[in-house]
Structure 1
Amino acid sequence: MNVAFFSTKSYDKASFDPLLSNFGHEFTYFEAKLDRYSAILAKGHEAVCAFVNDHLDKVTLKKLKEEGVKLIALRCAGYNQVDLQEADRLGITVVRVPAYSPEAVAEHAMALILTLSRKTHKAYNRVRENNFSIEGLTGMNLHGKTIGVIGTGAIGAAFCKIALGFGCKVLAFDPFENQKLKELGVAYLSVDDLLKKAEIISMHCPLTPDTKHMINKDSLQLIKDGCMLINTSRGALIETKSVIRALKIGKIGYLGIDVYEQEENLFFQNRSEEILQDEQIARLMTFPNVLITGHQAFLTHEALYQIAKTTLENLNDFEQSHPLKNEVN
């Protein structure tokens, strides 16, 4: 198949190119984000390959259809960026990569926790300036802490196992309880009870109309004072303005995020020579107890290989009219 590949980065080419000869597809790489303005670049291609911040709304999908696109191959697990009803109406099939390396994201979430809890990011900067003082770097043990995990799919389950390995008490919420996790000692609670009891909360659920802004002004009233909040899932799970207020009054003691509600026009770009126009993320970066990474939790060699392999298999299945095990309906 001829595939238009959008939002291309160097690591995308490095992971896809070595596998292309085994699958027989032809890729055209575009650095541009896929949206209503760049959709014309898909002309002459049967499929597009899109990522988390590509914008596949009704207008974009209609233009893709006009250019002859039959398939949208998402190289990510999330699909909230796609208007699925419109894609279905237009007869455009959508496939995704439901699981690539759950451990990659789970380990990054734990890395955020460890960095915040032991202030290693501050120590790193001090030592580089020949400042070897440890004043103000007092941290906390993770052993014995209560961690609440919201969402126990593949990534959440991997994170639970890591947390258990640190000697933490693990609470969880998910509409579908994982029996194997329960056997390991994970206790399932309601969302409200989890928020009340957890000292650290880690978000691992998908973004849906029901989960959007589930961390908001009201739910933040339930958490323990000084609670640590971690989000490596989707930015809009958290209502940013409410989190900023909670940070200001000490309700949230630590915040670690790899995703951001308004990241679409910010992340995956070098903005070092620009003045940030996003006042909320600029405000977040002024807090000494906030750690932000730019949607890199997935970025490991192992995950990139699996993303490329599964995406190419999805393309093959569609081209050969095989059952689409990773179709999004």
Structure 2
Amino acid sequence: MEDDQVDLADRLPDRPRSKHYVSILKQNSRADPQSQPPNNLFVPVTPPDQIVLQSPNVQPPPPNQYPSPAHSVPLAQQQAFSLLSPAAAPQVQYAPQREEGMRVIIYSAMPYEIEAFESQLKTVPGADHIEIIPVPSSLDITTASLALGARAVCLFATDFADIHMLHALRACGVQMLVFRYSGATYFNEEQAFALGLRIARPPTHAPSSVAEYTVSLLMTLNRKIHIAHNRVKDGNFSLHGLMGFELAGKTVGVVGTGRVGTAVARILSGFGCKILAFDVTEADEVLNAGGRYVSLKKLLASSDVVTLHAPLMPATRHLIGSKTISTCKKGVVIVNTARGALIDVRAAIEGLRSGQIGGLAMDVYEGETSMFFRDKTGEVVDMDLQVLKAMPNVLITGHQSALTKEAIWAVAKTTIKCLKQFEMGLEMDYEVKPDAMGGRDGG
């Protein structure tokens, strides 16, 4: 290496080697004065591969309020500033990834997602100019610097995207956030917009995938297929305790009739179920399937099975709690594939113990981002979850309702389309605008 350059590879934890690198140049190094920023930026920031980037002109965030040491000092924002500040490095210049194109970091990248993105890059015209760099690790204090030189990052539920991480990403030159999930931990759109970040939220699942999984959970729990399977593996062919009930003729209450809830109502009507529905608006497809809209109180009191498909907002948090459980039909089976916080877990445990709830199937769990999507074998991650796991009439899975090839491939394709539109300066599909922002928190 020449004397006037210092390789930063060792200062960037877990940073990929080879072409993904940063060089610090001495004060006399300068970017090409003819470099011009593209015309598609939300704020007037020149791409890192075209300029020498000085310490970013943003105010430091407030002190970190979260207790986890991994997300405390030194803050990711401070880490990024130390890499970019004149004191630590008079000037920072990013090595260009190619003559044209855009680098994108995909945090929390799963192997099946990498395969999907690589496949879909070939199907979107002009997307070959986009350089996808998968990072298996989540976004946090130790991985924020991997975004150096990237114009966009793609985030998942396990990514820690509070104000400090947003400052770190902005300091690294990131201009756009794309979510391939409903949100990220501690993420707030208002804070992102204040830093000049653009946001895109492509549809994150195929309704059919989630609806089919909802019915699968119901069938598995009701007919105790998971218990029977484990027994047979151990050589136990006894049928004792495996009694279920027929769905035909039963009343199913569908709470929330968006695309998923409507699909669930359609599927279960095919089983011969009577459909009751609750939502602020009525869906024609539910009515055409023989469904009837009623109040939430009547739905809970009349339904043998209740499926939850409502969005999470203040009005729906702990929608299933002590009060609503007490109004449910005795022995009701509840299935939740929407958002974990729709159910007050401790109230549900009491309902299960008393027999008011006859069965509970969940693919989501309140506070799941601290444990779901990770291997926690041998760890005690949540005491309430341990209690639920020990109950024979409870079935819990790790948020896999949308894990189908069709759904994952669709997410990859729409994400790549958004990135291409951003690169070309076009209006982005699924972009969240500041004037339409609801200030919602992800995760």
Q: TM-score range by the shorter chain?
A: over 0.9
Aligned-residue CA RMSD in angstroms?
A: 1.6
Deviation digits for residues 186-236 of structure 1 (CA, Å, limit 9, x no counterpart): 211222222222111111122222222211122212111111111111111
Residue in structure 2 matching 1:5, options 103, 106, 121:
106
Corresponding residue of 2:425: 321
Which one is further off, 35-44 or 106-115?
35-44
Correspondences of 1:74-223 after superposition (within 5 Å): 74-76=179-181, 78-79=182-183, 81=185, 82-98=187-203, 100-223=205-328
Residue in structure 2 matching 1:73, options 162, 178, 181:
178
Amino acid of the structure 2 residue aligned with 1:16: F
The TM-score, its normalising length taken from structure 2, stands at: 0.71
The TM-score, its normalising length taken from structure 1, stands at: 0.94
Question: Are 2:339 and 1:238 equivalent residues in the alignment?
Answer: no
In 1, Cα distance between the equivalents of 2:281 and 2:158?
28
Contact 1:80 1:208 in 2 (8 A): no
Corresponding residue of 2:155: 50
Name the % identity. Answer: 39
Corresponding residue of 1:20: 121
Q: Mark the runs of 5 or more structure 2 residues left unpaired by the alignment.
A: 1-101, 438-443
In 2, Cα distance between the equivalents of 1:307 and 1:208?
24
In 2, Cα distance between the equivalents of 1:168 and 1:153?
19
In 1, Cα distance between the equivalents of 2:338 and 2:258?
11
In 1, Cα distance between the equivalents of 2:349 and 2:161?
30
1:100 CA drift (Å): 3.5
In 2, Cα distance between the equivalents of 1:93 and 1:175?
31
SS in 2 for 1:112: helix
Q: Mark the runs of 5 or more structure 1 residues left unpaired by the alignment.
A: none
Which one is further off, 291-300 or 91-100?
91-100
SS in 2 for 1:255: strand
In 2, Cα distance between the equivalents of 1:170 and 1:180?
12
Amino acid of the structure 2 residue aligned with 1:2: R
In 2, Cα distance between the equivalents of 1:50 and 1:113?
31
In 2, Cα distance between the equivalents of 1:292 and 1:91?
40
Corresponding residue of 2:15: none
Question: Are 2:134 and 1:33 equivalent residues in the alignment?
Answer: no
Contact 1:150 1:204 in 2 (8 A): yes
Amino acid of the structure 2 residue aligned with 1:307: V
1:36 CA drift (Å): 5.0
1:309 CA drift (Å): 0.7
Which one is further off, 201-210 or 295-304?
201-210
In 1, Cα distance between the equivalents of 2:383 and 2:204?
34
In 1, Cα distance between the equivalents of 2:337 and 2:157?
13
- The list of structure 1 runs, each at least 4 consecutive aligned residues, that deviate by more than 4 angstroms after superposition, is none
In 1, Cα distance between the equivalents of 2:323 and 2:171?
45
SS in 1 for 2:431: coil
In 2, Cα distance between the equivalents of 1:312 and 1:39?
22
| Change over 3 Å in CA distance of 1:167–1:316 after alignment to 2 | same
1:79 CA drift (Å): 3.3
Deviation digits for residues 261-285 of structure 1 (CA, Å, limit 9, x no counterpart): 121121111222x221311111110
Contact 1:3 1:49 in 2 (8 A): yes
Deviation digits for residues 118-172 of structure 1 (CA, Å, limit 9, x no counterpart): 1111111111122212121111001111111111111111111111111111111
1:242 CA drift (Å): 1.2
Between structure 1 and structure 2, the one with the greater Rg is: 2
Which one is further off, 291-300 or 95-104?
95-104
Corresponding residue of 2:397: 293
In 1, Cα distance between the equivalents of 2:209 and 2:301?
28
The structure in which a higher percent of residues are helix is: 1
1:57 CA drift (Å): 2.2
Amino acid of the structure 1 residue aligned with 2:259: A
In 2, Cα distance between the equivalents of 1:185 and 1:244?
33
Amino acid of the structure 2 residue aligned with 1:79: G
